[in-house]
Chains A and B, each alone.
Chain A
């Protein structure tokens, strides 16, 4: 007892020291090795995690993923093993020799008796009432910079869009569609019990430019043991006001009992651009200029001989794309004994970008430690740290409405201008630019880097008060420290006018979480209970600062010493603080593991909401019936090994507004008096004490079917979600002095079906084939946008028309523009077809279609042109193994989604100073009357038309891996337990009719209403890599 009391007083510090004990007391002399496997007697399936105990001793190990166990022991055969596994009858088996033994257990249904991770605990799979899906090992073992990418095509109902191929950039994840219009639709991440609200603004000070950094990329994907996706309300309501977008529960790897392993894995690969855009070459461009001259009524710029002499000219696009390497190295040491498990891992990941001066590097380390201090008392410590550096392509500021980046500027570079001079230096004599610079030089010489340090640590202590009654307390912290550097030397377009521009920014974000739960799992005969109650509190703080200066006399110190610059710019800084306090509870009841009910709820108090609505309550109920467990069912349908029906209903929330959104806040502005700056202070928003969370009410019905002893298993779910009280920036009449206010109005509906199929097609001794397919369709629709508002346009860049509309009755991310019908002909004009008003039109111009009854084409003729939301998404994974070889293929795709190809829209605009799309070769002209692209005029207004709203359906061979695992004997020759080598191809084949770089493009990755706009995104890469995994 005293022992335990001492342990209670253990500090985190001593626990850290305790890690060093791990593995202590392993070595004994004269030990022998006793090995074997634990399998299901009927199916022969291995039973990972089965506990093997040598009777009469303290020796106990757990079977690994292949069901294998191994003792190093002083015991000699014959020994008696006590073998136990959840859901199976515990058995005593005597083994008389040293041969590997096959220990068979009976009575279980492996699938039903699996334990699945759910919010704040685990549940027997048979008792689960919600829609919960795991991510397969195949998906998790793909090489990737960030784990969000691994989910693509792996789980039904989870859509992952790798919107930019910039290394380290963010991916969009949607579980069962997007609920919110204005705020995040990203799921909640729970990493080893620690709640992470992924918020990429916490790694973005605003000092750098370009696409957002992905905070999730700071996590090492190889550390992940399993990922569970919670989809319906029965599963997510326990996360209350943050559960509406679904929950991704991540468990990291830990050591296994009875082993000490050293594992190295690494790969090296080469990335190449999947495709290039078709652009004009020099002579084609020169002839375009001449055609513009004709339309302008001025003399042609180039003679025919000059045009011929130009030839192909400069290919800026190809000059800007390189072959880029990617490598990953990983070393881990893990193991465990009866009382402790540990894992120490380190990782180095380095991905160069296809574009110069871009890439992502990560150094990370992890320590996981778990110890049973006594029979009743267990502690668990997970510490993860990483340092990452992202060098990203310069562009418009994060989330800004100005759409531009250095890549689209480079694509517009005129091909008649040489890229480099004869001596190989960058050519900066370019009469088509306003500054004597070079777009490729801009990319190469600009520093645009984010350095991110993340420390994620979580300590928990669990005490079994009584059998079946456990108390758990945890304390964790997530610290994100970001330093960003931007330097644009005077040789770049951005730095030229200001003689060099430097900016540094830092963000420090800390979130700490304390959770206290009690779990009670009593059994009364056939009545099984699982009761959870808890109190949690999470505090988030962030501080940021940005300083910038311009006019650098030289580039020696650049952003590292802004004081060298002679013109300081106004600095900025900020700080935010928010708190969430929660009470949570869940009661699961199962009768005979046949009839199950789960009731859960959470009360969340959030500081960021209005004074009148700090607290929200989120209940749910789920029911399930294991029909196949009924006797009458077994008798009649013996082939059906599992049939489970589920229904659930509940409410979850989204309170993802920034702090202080409900207050009447004031902000500084500036003016000049007497030539000097003065600060004015004025309100920026009206107070809204009624601001509250968005509520999503979700209904789900599902069925799980297994046949042929679960060799074929199938899951189907249908759901209906309605999100009400949307957090919407409601437009106000501008005469109020405000353009909008954040209010809870409007509603959005998501309804869909999803299916998953797993088949063990072949399971022979030397050959096996497993296949898994997922498919999901979601329909999103805006039901209401508040009183008086039936639509609004998300802000478009100055001078451009919004290609999207937010309108009641349409999905979020709806495209809006004109339909066209080829080009105007002389006959059209003679007939008097409706013409676009305000723009003089003639033969060879675009023919816009007027809506019925209209005699001219005005903005009233714009209409819905499709949505960026797919009709369905799918994934198909195949695994083959033959002797030592393994082959896996992951194919995934999306169907029916559209993109607004804004880059093409801009490139098809003929100008006298920018290069244009190759499509313009087939433009209408007097000499090419059957041209399909409008005639060349000088900088016509690019309208949003159907031609650029393009089908972006695709199918992609996301991963193809061929591996070979050497036999134990061969491996042993280099003293290894296991050795596997593989080659792998990522994105090897993409089938799509989309003409841009990537059918997954999404320029405004964080903006729901402007989804599906492709404006000069980072080109996609195809990767070939080779790697090896070796375990000692």
Chain B
């Protein structure tokens, strides 16, 4: 009997020892932070992840540059309205200027911007901390940090213009303890100082161009152009001018030193065509690809066409017929910006869309996808900065800097007008008239490109209200609307945050 016992205990002991499994987690299918930021590929992947935040959303919502930002900068401007078939109260409120601080679209934009900023912060800290020896070529480490800082600057530039003072977060949080996360809003000047610091670093660290499988990354030209725009919003015309001169192609303007070879496409439509993406006019674009194999990136602005069924409506529409009426008859931009009919390859007929909401918006409709309503696979890039923006900015800056338009100011705006087959601007305009001409030109040039709300607001509250009140559906616009409200849940989670005036 005792032998049995001994046997059994031995058996039991073996089982127990075999069974003494470790409780430590060693994930096989998940990377943990401690394993990462070691090699050059890690560094590249960390920075690529920053770009991702521009063209996709982790919850498959609209990406920042795939409609989300446009809901604030176009639908909330005098240019656009929600589609009659839209049932989302938050989206509707953006266009009726009745949004409140709990609006989900405002929160989403805020969230997506900080999501991108966080990834940039992680990449900047992670890549900077790596040994130089980890990189195969000199300058690569700096370039990668520069790319991340460029995107961080771009996102903060959006935030500070949309919301005013915002929390200035520069590092990844280390703890889930909410009290360690709570901060107050940083003054506008501090945010701008950080943006300028980031871009000043980026202009030195980034190359002028890329080749092959790197095309589409931020360049030093893009950093200069963005920096110039930052100075314009700071009304620092002298610095804006000097940055723009570094972008403007050498020889085209007095003092221009740009070596990037930027120019305008002869054909305005090429700025929104898949075949000519990352072309001479594209200073910085967010990339979209047809059937690229990724599922998260969808250019929702392409849903400006959804169906040949004339009873259905596209995703967003012009606020009213006045938007298309700003274009003169010969303006080639009109036909690129709007459509009223679409050729149906399946039937061989042309379907005409004619109702109170037409013409529909056209720039982001990808006519190369088949069938055409498969716009989910649209490969049209989102142009964040086009050379036309640089030219119009230069016209504006010279007008402000010199107390009135100079010859180069006319030259800059006329380059844009000539490309659109529109007559040159009347000479001899006053500073104020020239300024108005530049803003009108910007409105025509950048429909659906996320500029109009910013352009209205920076002209002052009176201009903003006058423009909005011309649109029946935007009658609710008020002075407080020149800044968006800080999202309600953010204030609830962080008592240090204050709300904007009037909200």
State the A residues within 8 Å of B (CB): 1, 4-5, 8, 298, 401, 431-436, 463, 465, 471, 473, 475, 496-498, 514, 516, 535-537, 539, 567-570, 573-579, 581, 605-608, 614, 659-660, 662-684, 686-688, 730-739, 741-743, 787-789, 792, 795, 798-801, 837-839, 858-859, 909, 911-913, 938-943
Contacts and interface: CB of A to CB of B under 8 A. Distances in A.
Interface stretch (B214-222, B322-330, B334-342, B454-462): B214-222
B441 interface: no
Nearest to A496: B371
A708 B27 CA distance: 61
A850 B210 CA distance: 59
Contact of B173 (A516, A573, A686, A837): A686
B29 A576 contact: yes
The residue among A539, A665, A730 with the most chain B CB atoms within 10 A of its own CB is A665
Contacts of B88: 798-800, 941
A672 B49 contact: no
A516 B13 CA distance: 10
B107 A734 contact: yes
B292 A677 contact: yes
Given A939-B84, A941-B88, 16 more contacts: A432-B311, A434-B306, A570-B293, A576-B29, A577-B26, A672-B297, A674-B215, A683-B172, A731-B493, A733-B490, A734-B107, A734-B489, A737-B115, A737-B169, A737-B173, A795-B59
B452 interface: no
A574 B292 CA distance: 22
Contact of A666 (B24, B32, B111): B32
Contacts, number: 313
B295 interface: yes
Contacts of B19: 514, 516, 535-537, 581
A739 B86 CA distance: 26
A788 B178 contact: yes
Interface residues of B, number: 119
B28 A575 contact: yes
Contacts of A401: 59
A733 B309 CA distance: 43
B487 A734 contact: yes
A732 to B, nearest CB: 6
Contact of A859 (B29, B100, B288): B100
B371 to A, nearest CB: 6
Contacts of B297: 670-672
Nearest to A581: B21
Nearest to B369: A497
Contact of A670 (B25, B30, B52): B52
Most B CB contacts (10 A, CB to CB) among A401, A733, A912 go to A733
B27 A665 contact: yes
B31 A660 contact: no
Given A605-B23, A680-B48, A569 B373 contact: no
Given A516-B15, A734-B487, A913-B309, A677 B371 contact: no
B87 A939 contact: yes
B91 A799 contact: yes
Contact of A736 (B16, B118, B294): B118
13 contacts: A5-B3, A516-B15, A537-B20, A576-B29, A666-B33, A670-B56, A680-B45, A686-B174, A730-B176, A736-B114, A737-B115, A737-B118, A911-B85
A476 B10 CA distance: 20
Given A666-B31, A838-B93, A913-B309, A535 B16 contact: yes
Interface in B75-116: 84-89, 91-93, 96, 98, 100, 102, 107, 110-111, 114-115
B494 A607 contact: no
Given A473-B11, A736-B114, A569 B293 contact: yes
A741 B176 contact: yes
A682 B49 contact: yes
A739 to B, nearest CB: 6
Nearest to A297: B356
Interface string B1-22: 1011101100110011011111
Contacts of B172: 683, 737
Given A496-B371, A666-B31, A939-B87, A738 B217 contact: no
Given A8-B7, A581-B23, A673-B216, A838 B92 contact: yes
Contacts of A665: 27, 30-33
A736 B487 CA distance: 14
A637 B1 CA distance: 51
Contacts of B212: 674
B248 interface: no
B30 A667 contact: yes
Contacts of A737: 114-115, 117-119, 121, 169, 172-173
Given A497-B371, A671-B55, A673-B214, A941 B87 contact: yes
A942 B88 CA distance: 9
